Amino acid sequence: MLHADHPLTDANTLGLPCVAERYAAPATLDALREALALARRHDWPLTVLGGGSNLILPARLPGLVLQPAMAQWWLEERDDGIRVHAEAAVEWHALVMALAKRGLWGAENLALIPGHCGAAPIQNIGAYGVELGDLLEAVHLVYLDDGREAVLSASDCAFGYRDSVFKGALSGRMVITRLVLRVSTEPRPRLGYGDLAGRLDPAPTALEVAEAVCAIRREKLPDPATLGNAGSFFKNPLVDGEHARRLLAEHPDLPHFPQPDGRVKLAAGWLIDRCGLKGWRRGHFGVHDRQALVLVHFGGGSTEELLGFAGEVAARVRERFGVVLEREPRRAG
Ligand SMILES: Cc1cc2nc3c(=O)[nH]c(=O)nc-3n(C[C@H](O)[C@H](O)[C@H](O)COP(=O)(O)OP(=O)(O)OC[C@H]3O[C@@H](n4cnc5c(N)ncnc54)[C@H](O)[C@@H]3O)c2cc1C
């Protein structure tokens, strides 16, 4: 069923005011294909919406906004291990906790990442040393132009840091309908990141790891339910080795992570903090006072104001360190 002039202000975690010209939330694959066919017939531009936690919405979204509502998940035992099938609208965090409670390892470091399963491959969600690509086996999708179904393997997804084929060649061309993930009953804690190991026994359960991740994240990140935000607003920048050496000579405490290709990943939050911007507020937006990588919306602001504010933060970092920050949340419309 189509809804006209549907409000999306509560459907994006930044809390940006937005109205969709048309909106549908198909609960089956057939309903999804029907909605796609209708959009094709009328030549409506299409926007796919998940949990709205990584999106910058405009004041009005023309055409049709599709928010898949298929929300089943199930386990499959195969000869070579256990698979999880999760439809697009399954809440990612709820799935992670349900798996960890069953003693299934694989997704526990990705606890408390907001959003729906359907969006998780788009930027290859990652946290605490693990990325979705580490456990993803396949992605089921439907192409927008002809309603054709396809299954992509993990290698087809071209996963990188906050990147995938869904942001490249397949951007705006498909709806992800289901994920297939590999999980295991074999304990395999990955505690090498941050202060995770210090908070846990040497042989924790999957649930203990997930709960420790949640506890750390709650200490650092604002809850979108109380303060509008989209998580990290900027990606951690990659610079060439020479640039990194120059910066490190001047700032030996700059957190840095050498990459296999010789480039070096820098901590964007540190760079913003060192510009004196942590806790900085202008108008309706600010830099979070505990995590400088997160921009927050105090309410009453607009998309243009947010983009102007973010541009100012990025300009200060470029002036001080010569490093270009790239935005992480995607713009819709
Ligand atoms: C407090 C907070 C903390 C966060 N922490 C992390 C973190 O640690 N690591 C991390 O990687 N991310 C993090 N994020 C970002 C965000 O949670 C993830 O990117 C998440 O996967 C977005 O899911 P969503 O359902 O909200 O997607 P949306 O914001 O609704 O959409 C994001 C993009 O995916 C597309 N999309 C959505 N669903 C589908 C679908 N079914 N098929 C095709 N395209 C689709 C949209 O068109 C859009 O381009 C955080 C965000 C917040 C608010």
Q: Write out pLDDT tens, residues 116-171.
A: 999 999 999 999 999 999 999 999 999 999 999 999 999 999 999 899 999 999 99
Q: Does domain 73-219 have CATH number 3.40.50.300?
A: no
Q: Mean pLDDT throughout 218-224? A: 94
Closest residue to atom 34 of ligand 1, CA basis: 119
For the domain made up of 222-331, give the CATH fold: 3.90.78
* pLDDT over 90 at 194, yes or no: no
* pLDDT per residue as tens digits for the range 76-103: 999 999 999 999 999 999 999 999 999 9
Residues of the chain with CATH 3.30.465.10: 73-219
Phi, psi values for residue 33, rounded to 5° = -60, -40
Residues of the chain with CATH 3.90.78.10: 222-331
User: What residues have CB less than 8 Å from 148, skipping those under 6 apart?
Assistant: 142
Residues of the chain with CATH 3.30.43.10: 3-66
Rounded (5°) CA angle 294-309-114: 30
* pLDDT per residue as tens digits for the range 22-74: 999 999 999 999 999 999 999 999 999 999 999 999 999 999 999 999 999 99
Q: Mean pLDDT throughout 194-211? A: 94
Q: Assign domain 3-66 to a CATH class.
A: alpha beta
Rounded (5°) CA angle 301-307-309: 75
Residues with CB under 6 A from ligand 1: 13, 48-55, 68, 88, 113-116, 118-120, 122-123, 125-127, 175-176, 221, 224, 229-231, 330
Closest CA to 227 of 277, 299, 284: 299
Average pLDDT, the chain: 97
For the annotated catalytic residues, the residue numbers are 162, 232, 328
